[in-house]
Amino acid sequence: MTAIEAIGEPAPQPAGEPPAPQQTGEPAREAAASEAQMSEPALTGDAAGPAATGRGGVPLWVGVVLALAAGGAMLLSFPPYGQWWLAPVGVGLLAVAVHRRRLRAGAGLGALAGAALFAPLLDWTHIVGGVAPWLLLAASQAGYLAVLGLAAAWCGPLIDRHRWVWPLVTATLWVGQEALRDREPFGGFPWGRLAFSQGDSALLRFAALGGAPLVTFAVALCGGLLAAAVWRPWRSLPRRGRILGGAAALGAVLVVLAGLVVPLTQPNGKTLTVAVIQGNVPRLGLDFNAQRRAVLDDHANATLKLAQRVAAGTAKQPDIVIWPENSSDIDPLIPQDADARAEINEAATEIKAPILVGAVLEGPGQNLRNAGIVWQPGTGPVTPYYVKQHPVPFAEYMPMRGLAQMVSSRAALVGNFVPGHRSGVLNMGPATVGDVICFEIAYDNLVRSSVTGGGQLITVQTNNADFTTAEARQQLAMVQLRAVEHGRDALMASTVGVSAFVTSDGKVHDATQFNTAAELVRTLRLGQEQTLATRLGAVPEFVLAGVAVLLLVAAGVVRRDRRRVALAGRSLGDQARSDQARSDRAGSDEAERPDALA
């Protein structure tokens, strides 16, 4: 009996033979018991059937190899490697590894894939936090893939009963997993979403319809189709199985090609000349206060240098200027730092354009705020300014500080940044920008609120000085997705790189080198219209995650039915054996009667 026959498809009758006659009575009961025993393994673990007992899947050691390969493939899809096509391959490998596995094995294989992905992907975090926090963060993110592997294993019987549902199960479970990971704990950590690996892929265009969740859905749908195409028991079927496998592989290609025809929203407002200042930072030989002043000096001097080029006619006059996050770690709004205020005033006056300054503000009390302040030439800072709404836990503030200090001595150095409570919509004279700071670019709701609030241009102020080129390029890939998602030109301004402009089609322009000083000037167009993704917000994610929940429930029903069939088969088998025992005893009694001996 083949694997497909064992899940309910009847075996074909040999050609030229009449169908077998229906059995009734005791022979029928014995046949039913025999069939149940053949089609449903003994109840062990979570439920009966191949998907619940680990039977029918790839050997466990192969599953381990596939899970590690899945994590590695997904890793290589992200910058700086940028092999976007490996993301669906990784999803497919993990889907095959966990199919027809016990729940514990599914969770374990998911965790292995997560470790292979997140440990190297987040390697840059150890530069600031140390090895222990890096490994704890990677392990926590791998835990979500463990939940994904468990859920996929749970859905095994549903997939076996309805083969066409495998790609849908895979895609919606990925969306559900990311929806949870993006929110919990401490506001979530969306780094490593499948959508952020697709900066150079046609699948990126799906962001205009449903944001990052729809891009993740498309990537994982391709992965599920690839898994269906190569699944051995299906491929080994006669002609029908080969046709189904080929159709699944073709379906994955068609999903990618479909991205090419997704319409994009192009900005239709006036043009704007924008300058980005990457002042760079000194590396050695300065104490903390001197370092902060040197960073401010570098950005002010780079702006004065650009003003000289404008005066000489070698650079266009910018309409607005963007400085990065932490370009002024000295609070320019308090009287004690009047010299910092004067320096920024001079830069704005010379460049003859408003500057968006990334500043660290003191207060309230002993707290700090990470802010973006519009600085007008001649008049100075404009209120209200934008305060970062999502400070990074364990980096800008310390949850469970006492416990954290037991893990890393650097925990004591973390400040106490407090969040802002308004979106980053800032009027910069000729333009209204939607500003987000650093990791906020990863959060769907924060970027969307800056656009729905009136942002015509997406600005990302970031400080990558404590990280690596890999982290900066991963962040830039998020900017690419947001530009397509909201139909806005965008930019990223970094202290040390990578700084760049991104047009609304997701294309990167004028990207800088890492650890260099640079002044970028480019003409962008302001956006007025809202994309479908902007209007829908979180609706696509909620719908797809809801479908995932319904599929999990449906899988539970199938598992219950299988358990019931297996129990019925066991009951019929027990009854048949009991009847046979009674028959044997009756025969024995008959043989012992005197007339029988005669």
Q: 202 pLDDT exceeds 90? A: yes
Q: 175 pLDDT exceeds 90? A: yes
What pLDDT is recorded for position 567? 75
**CA distances (Å), 432 to each of 152, 180, 350, 527, 564, in order?**
45, 32, 22, 10, 63
Greatest CA separation for the chain: 130
Mean pLDDT across the stretch 98-118?
A: 97
Lowest mean pLDDT among 102-116, 413-427, 490-504, 539-553: 413-427
State the sign of the Cα–Cα–Cα–Cα dihedral 339, 417, 294, 457.
negative
Give the confidence band of 282 by pLDDT, cuts at 50, 70, 90: confident
Give the confidence band of 398 by pLDDT, cuts at 50, 70, 90: confident
Q: Could you say which DSSP state residue 336 is in?
A: G
Question: pLDDT over 70 for what percent of the chain?
Answer: 81
DSSP-based three-state secondary structure for 385: coil
Catalytic residues: 325, 388, 438
- Please report how many Cα atoms fall inside a 13 Å half-sphere around the Cα of residue 380, on the Cβ side: 8
Mean pLDDT across the stretch 241-261?
A: 91
Helices (H), 469-593: 469-486, 532-536, 539-592
- Strand 368-376, strand 380-381: pairing: antiparallel
The count of other CB atoms within 10 Å of the CB of residue 21 is: 6
**Domain spanning 271-530: which superfamily?**
Carbon-nitrogen hydrolase (3.60.110.10)
Q: 513 pLDDT exceeds 80? A: yes
Cβ contact 426:374 at 8 Å: yes
Lowest mean pLDDT among 9-23, 169-183, 195-209, 572-586: 9-23
Q: What is the Cα–Cα distance from 117 to 198, expressed in whole angstroms?
A: 16
What pLDDT is recorded for position 242? 76
pLDDT digits (tens, 9 = 90+) for 147-163: 999 999 999 999 999 88
Give the confidence band of 17 by pLDDT, cuts at 50, 70, 90: very low
DSSP-based three-state secondary structure for 400: coil
**498-516 burial by CB neighbour count: b if 16+ within 10 A, else e?**
bbbbbbbbbebeebbebee
**CA distances (Å), 92 to each of 198, 214, 393, 578, in order?**
16, 18, 33, 48
Going from N- to C-terminal start, the domains of the chain cover 33-264+543-557, 271-530
What pLDDT is recorded for position 524? 97
Lowest mean pLDDT among 50-64, 163-177, 468-482: 50-64
pLDDT digits (tens, 9 = 90+) for 30-61: 444 434 333 333 333 334 455 454 567 889 99
Calculate helix-pair angle for 25-39, 539-592, nearest 10 degrees: 130
Q: What's the CA dihedral at 179, 181, 183, 186 to 10 degrees?
A: 180
Q: 25 pLDDT exceeds 60? A: no
Q: 16 pLDDT exceeds 50? A: no
What pLDDT is recorded for position 292? 83
Q: What is the Cα–Cα distance from 243 to 241, expressed in whole angstroms?
A: 5
Q: In 3D, which of 501, 438, 436 has the Cα closest to residue 465? A: 438
Q: 288 pLDDT exceeds 70? A: no
What pLDDT is recorded for position 139? 96
**276-289 burial by CB neighbour count: b if 16+ within 10 A, else e?**
bbbbbbeeeeeeee
What pLDDT is recorded for position 581? 66
* Proportion of the chain in helix, strand, coil states, percent, rounded to 5: 55, 10, 30
Cβ contact 308:511 at 8 Å: no
What pLDDT is recorded for position 61? 95
Mean pLDDT across the stretch 127-151?
A: 91
DSSP-based three-state secondary structure for 381: strand
Q: 14 pLDDT exceeds 60? A: no
Residue 471 or 130, more confident: 471
